[in-house]
Structure 1
Amino acid sequence: MAKSFRVDVVSPDKMLYTGDATFLRAQTTDGEVGILADHAPLFAELAPGGCVVVTLEDDSKVAIAAQGGFLSITEANVKVLAESAQLAEEIDIEAERAALESNEEGSAGYLQARSRIRAFEAVS
């Protein structure tokens, strides 16, 4: 069984996840990172259009569309501080696919839709 670590995922308006995890995956401006317990300290900017996927101790996953913000890893825990975020289970995938098609690539609407689609697909 993989060693677990503490994870908090927050946005300005709510706590999206708090609990233990065995793995965390996130897109940062420097590329995708995977985090296991005892990871070296790290501070990174979340990539526009990315998502965060938390793997729980029972191997289930929590996916979060995160628009902007930071990932902070210390010896004690991992914190995802998102400017705005949404749980995958709250996403209307058809509306997001339509938004992706109707927005110009690279625009805020396009990146938000891409983020939400990534989160939805991570747990589908």
Structure 2
Amino acid sequence: MNLEIITPDKKVYTGEVNSVSFPGSEGRFQVLKDHAPIVSTLAKGDLVIEANGKKQTFVVDGGVVEVVKNKILVLAEAVA
């Protein structure tokens, strides 16, 4: 799956991932390969990426995520 994390200032991350765990505004959820299309709002919290057996964590300040055909686009208000 291809993941892009974008803030109003810059592109924070672009790359292939195996899974992504999101801080959804209604609770945490995970996206794996061939996930159904979804659009969700994000709360402040940890966005955890797993790629090539390694985990990487970003703290997002809220935003929106869209998943379509193994492409994940995160529009975050801010990322730490």
Q: TM-score range by the shorter chain?
A: over 0.9
User: Higher helix share goes to which structure?
Assistant: 1
Q: Aligned to 2:79, what secondary structure does the other structure show?
A: strand
User: Higher strand share goes to which structure?
Assistant: 2
Amino acid aligned to 1:81: L
Alignment RMSD = 1.0
TM-score of the superposed pair, with normalisation by structure 1: 0.62
Q: Deviations over 1:58-100 (max 9, x none)?
A: 21122111001101101140011101112xxxxxxxxxxxxxx
Alignment match, 1:85: 79
Match of 1:61 among 36, 41, 55: 55
Alignment match, 2:15: 19
User: In the TM superposition, what are the counterparts of 1:1-124 in structure 2 within 5 Å?
Assistant: 5-47=1-43, 49-56=44-51, 58-86=52-80
Runs of 4+ in 1 over 2 A off after TM superposition: none
Kindly state the Cα deviation for residue 30 of structure 1 after the two structures are TM-superposed. 1.5
* 2:35/2:70 contact within 8 Å kept: no
Q: Aligned to 1:38, what secondary structure does the other structure show?
A: coil
- Percent identity over the alignment is 29
- Distance across 2 between alignment mates of 1:72 and 1:43: 4
- Relative contact order, CA 8 A, sep 6+: which one is greater? 2
Judge which range, 58-67 or 38-47, deviates more.
58-67
Count of aligned residue pairs for this structure pair: 80
TM-score of the superposed pair, with normalisation by structure 2: 0.93
Give structure 2 stretches of 5+ with no counterpart. none
